[in-house]
A and B are shown apart, each in its own frame.
Chain A
């Protein structure tokens, strides 16, 4: 390197091959010492997402202005794409509460490396889900009725209360991140408030864990309590159907996996190493272990359902799987392909297989959860109930799809802006300099 060395010694400047890093106009908004793409390049990368957001907002506006006839939902498919995807992104956003639980309650300090990223992902997932729900209901302005006249026996009431509270918690957890922005932390009042807010984080993280536990479960309970839909109905453990616990388990298992996958994706897109190796290792181990528990629980639950619950309602369980394209392959896919296989891959920890299988395994697990939510939402409604029913199908309209894509675009934009201007990955600088 002698020829390219610049000498700090003596008066003459030997400057041969210094590569000037590109300037960024908005450098002052970023954390000191991190490198980000130049502003024009960043804006160019964000532009398509803004377009998608705009288009999606138009689709959503149509649904609000003209009514839900803009969707392809109908009296038989009362729940459609939105409910299904809401459930999925809430399950994926579970990484926020679980990482918080690991860090603040179980004191696994390795999680400091990803907690900020997980909080942003959680915030984006939950705020997006709530936004979609506001469009999905027929009368969004009446949303407060659930609080005013709560039906404590309804799972949906529990979901509403918990998700609202949890979104508040996430917003409060996101605030210190914002306040620690390089320019904002210069403001003394914001600085001091952030300091004090951080001190109460433990309480909020514990509360978030409690709330998440309940609403992940209640989302499962939504389906499990429907005594008149034998496909979805499950036996109760206490006052909760087994789907309550299955949804909690699957969300807790997939949450860390999603954090792992998104971290890897961000590392790939930014070309930087953002977390030390011990972090994805721990996430993979936890995700894999929980997945194994989930797979076992789900297998037991499925067997109970096939042998006891479903026949007691007069239904032959395999008849539910006799309508194309829903066949028994779905059970196999959910439990084995997207359950057991990623669990084993994640738990392998590099002993037999290369570590590069971790991310595809996590993605597979996330797909498994998406499949599970799909089956509970869509298959349940597609199946005939009355003797003179037939199996129905439903395809989302473009307005529905666009609205959901708007949420995805919103998530990407918020995350990208957070990554650019906030300190999402505390280990980034250390890893950059080593």
Chain B
């Protein structure tokens, strides 16, 4: 087997055969070792949240990955190639520059279905929002649809003061019935204050040294088409798969404070996953 073994002779056959074998073992071992080495490096660079989000994003259905510019009608059809991280996207600034001057004029007070989407804040695709305060901190909360979905969770784990959060990273965990929920932080920063659902906000962060980057958050005229689409998605989620539940949303009227009442308990897991972008 080895060059020093008794049977070994340095002829063409042995060299090719065992050379190929050693090469194969090297490639296999090397690949795994490289993967392990890179994984350790990722940990040292604190990239696990980003990796988690990218992994989750890949596993989301196509309907949940529509580019914000498709929702607003700026492009016909586009699936986000950047895990909703418009900060990394080349197409995003180009498309923003192409917007006409009356783009923002269509901004309304919120959406149909009686959902309240105040224009003073910016929205994350995972239904959290971020609002810059005068003292420089940023408040983070759950938007109206998210709040009604979650209703009164059995358990809500908010980040502790001093924790570092990152945009698209996991900030909050909740439990409702059988369902595990995780909510994504809309911004980077360090938590300085913690709120509650009743307060209307969840936590406050001080922005990172480099300044606050909100390019990936929705604001202004983008919000309405997005939230319309989100409600459609919720309906699709609940209407699908022989669940026997046919749900339709009537126009007008006020939605329930706790939408989860209307959703069968066994569907909560699926519904929350779909809406809060966790596959």
Contact = CB atoms under 8 A, between A and B. Distances in A.
Direct contact of A and B (CB under 8 A): yes
Interface of A: 1, 4-11, 13, 17-21, 23, 27-28, 31-33, 35, 147-150, 152-153, 158, 161, 165, 168-169, 172, 180, 185, 188-189, 191-197, 199-200, 203-204, 207, 210-211, 423, 426, 429-430, 432-434
Contacts of A32: 269-270, 273, 278-279
A95 B14 CA distance: 31
A423 B62 CA distance: 16
Contacts of A429: 61
B24 interface: yes
Contacts of B34: 196, 200
B10 interface: no
Contacts of B250: 7, 9
Interface string B247-271: 1111011111001011011110110
Given A191-B52, A196-B36, A434-B240, A21 B249 contact: no
B25 A165 contact: yes
Contact of B39 (A1, A189, A434): A189
Interface stretch (B43-51, B201-209, B216-224): B43-51
A196 B39 contact: yes
Nearest to B240: A433
Contacts of A28: 178, 180
B246 interface: yes
Interface string B164-190: 000000000000001010000000000
Contacts of B39: 189, 192-193, 195-196
Given A32-B273, A189-B39, 7 more contacts: A8-B259, A9-B253, A23-B266, A32-B278, A33-B270, A197-B32, A203-B27
27 contacts: A5-B246, A5-B247, A5-B248, A7-B262, A8-B262, A10-B254, A13-B261, A20-B264, A20-B266, A27-B178, A149-B7, A169-B28, A172-B28, A172-B31, A185-B55, A188-B48, A188-B52, A192-B39, A193-B35, A196-B34, A196-B36, A196-B39, A200-B31, A200-B34, A429-B61, A433-B63, A433-B237
Q: Chain B interface: which size bin?
A: 35 or more
B19 to A, nearest CB: 11
B143 interface: no
Interface string B112-146: 00000000000000000000000000000000000
Contacts of A426: 59
B245 A19 contact: yes
